[in-house]
């Protein structure tokens, strides 16, 4: 969440920048400032009354010692009255603090200055393209038909077992999944990311820490009896490793990678754009997470974007990078680059990665800080994350773009991982 200092230093600028995200922040910012004023005044009253209480309490013993019992009893009544007043203002302060936190949680992150104006996906800015467009026959099949033809992914069996959006991978389809996971993890480790294996469920504090709660509560699977949430991405548990942690400056940047299953309700998703692997309730993904000093985070963002580019290049897929406009930017992100690959049989671009810098927004929720070696003071870190990569649409593009009369060709970089060069 935004820090109170950010808002108090320049509330007009915060409102202006929030408008780029199509968020009218004036009322929220005004409420924040008003509640903070209430909180501060209540604290001042508590401090002043505590000083008076201390003075009044110290007199009681002296009065009793000097035999002035009546005056001592009067002083006791004054102390009791002061305690009641203190409780009133203390309750007021605590309520203001609670209200202030709720208000701050309701305000999205501000976009950085290079985020383009725009209302939605149609206004995103394409900043880079690469790869060779595949040439496939007019009889080429979409991936859901290829999966049925070669018996590698069974969507109907998944419906029987769980429901729509939970496919069953079989034979070479399952091996392709495992190959991609290992390929992505090996590349991440070679790029300096430390591999971790996180839990697949998180508690409420973790959801609030990375911003999934309260913003995306309806999209998460909730285990109500245990009050745990199935993770929508490994970003959530991995970033929460550093919740309430003070890192040493010399240990930055922190670079982690993790493979996990991901679970998303995707409420309201329907139509041709969600067919097959295009949108699932359960899918596999390898995530990369970075934590660094504020002055280095945009260099780190560039490194992460360049790294994801190497992955789609090795997989021989046509790709493009989009800088998301303000209207398409997530609640928590300051800037996001989406990677899309071209799916030839569907004749459309498919998003396979989002790489984002959250600046200090997540870190403030998490209280993820580092100790400045020079000043010895603690400061908020910047957090970043990216998909590297999400498997379903990568698989869809590989199957569609590499279909031949003999079968589906496996990209060379994957063949050592699959153990086969064709699906036939």
Answer CATH for 4-105 from 3.40.50.2300, 3.40.50.300, 1.10.287.40, 2.60.40.2550:
1.10.287.40
pTM of this prediction? 0.93
Domain 121-423: CATH superfamily, name plus number: Bira Bifunctional Protein; Domain 2 (3.30.930.10)
**Which helix (H) or strand (E) is 155 found in, with range?**
helix 155-161
Q: Residues in the chain, how many?
A: 424
pLDDT in tens, 235-252: 999 999 999 999 999 999
Q: How many CA atoms, within 13 angstroms, populate the side-chain half-sphere of residue 254?
A: 23
pLDDT at 63 over 80: no
Q: Distance between CA atoms of 57 and 81, rounded to whole angstroms?
A: 12
pLDDT in tens, 156-181: 999 999 999 999 999 999 999 999 99
Tell me the DSSP string of 237-264.
Answer: HHHHTTTT-EEEGGGPSEEEEEEEEEE-
Tell me the DSSP string of 176-192.
Answer: HHHHHHHHHHHHHHHTT
Q: In whole angstroms, how large is the CA radius of gyration of the chain?
A: 28
pLDDT in tens, 301-357: 999 999 999 999 999 999 999 999 999 999 999 999 999 999 999 999 999 999 999
As annotated, the residues of the chain forming the CATH 3.30.930.10 domain(s) are: 121-423
Q: Judge contact between 38 and 97, C-beta under 8 A.
A: no
pLDDT of residue 270: 55
**Which helix (H) or strand (E) is 335 found in, with range?**
strand 335-343
As annotated, the residues of the chain forming the CATH 1.10.287.40 domain(s) are: 4-105
């Amino acid at each position: 969440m935004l820090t109170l200092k950010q808002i108090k230093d320049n509330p007009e600028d915060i409102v202006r920048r929030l408008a780029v995200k199509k968020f009218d922040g004036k009322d929220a910012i005004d409420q924040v400032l008003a509640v903070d004023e209430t909180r501060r005044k209540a604290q001042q009253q508590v401090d002043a009354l505590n000083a008076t209480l201390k003075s009044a309490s110290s007199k009681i013993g002296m009065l009793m010692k000097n035999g002035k019992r009546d005056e001592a009893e009067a002083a006791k009544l004054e102390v009791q009255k002061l305690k009641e007043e203190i409780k009133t203002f203390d309750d007021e302060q605590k309520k203001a603090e609670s209200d202030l936190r709720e208000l701050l949680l309701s305000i999205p992150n501000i976009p950085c200055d290079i985020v383009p104006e725009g209302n939605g996906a149609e206004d995103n800015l394409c900043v880079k393209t690469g790869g060779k467009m595949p040439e496939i026959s007019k009889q080429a099949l979409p991936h859901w038909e290829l999966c049925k033809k070669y018996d590698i992914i069974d969507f109907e069996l998944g419906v029987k077992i769980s429901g729509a959006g939970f496919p069953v991978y079989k034979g070479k389809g399952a091996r392709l999944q495992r190959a991609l996971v290992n390929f992505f993890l090996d590349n991440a480790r070679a790029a300096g990311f430390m591999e971790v294996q996180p839990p697949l469920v998180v508690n409420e504090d973790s959801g609030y820490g990375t911003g999934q709660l309260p913003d995306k509560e309806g999209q998460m699977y909730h285990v109500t009896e245990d009050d745990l949430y199935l993770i929508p991405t490994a970003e959530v548990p991995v970033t929460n490793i550093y919740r309430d942690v003070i890192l040493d400056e010399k240990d930055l940047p922190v670079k982690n990678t993790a493979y996990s299953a991901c679970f998303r309700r995707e409420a309201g998703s329907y139509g041709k754009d969600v067919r097959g692997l295009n949108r699932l309730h359960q899918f596999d993904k390898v995530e990369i997470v970075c934590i660094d000093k504020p002055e280095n985070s945009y260099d780190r963002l560039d490194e992460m974007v360049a790294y994801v580019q190497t992955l789609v290049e090795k997989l021989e897929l046509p790709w493009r990078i989009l800088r998301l406009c303000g209207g398409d930017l997530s609640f928590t992100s300051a800037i996001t680059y989406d990677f899309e690959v071209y799916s030839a049989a569907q004749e459309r671009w498919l998003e396979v990665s989002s790489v984002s810098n959250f600046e200090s927004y997540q870190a403030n929720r998490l209280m993820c800080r580092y100790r400045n070696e020079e000043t010895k003071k603690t400061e908020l870190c910047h957090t970043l994350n990216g998909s590297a990569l999400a498997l379903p649409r990568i698989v869809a593009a590989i199957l569609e773009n590499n279909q031949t009369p003999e079968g589906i060709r496996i990209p060379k970089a994957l063949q050592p991982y699959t153990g086969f060069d064709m699906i036939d």
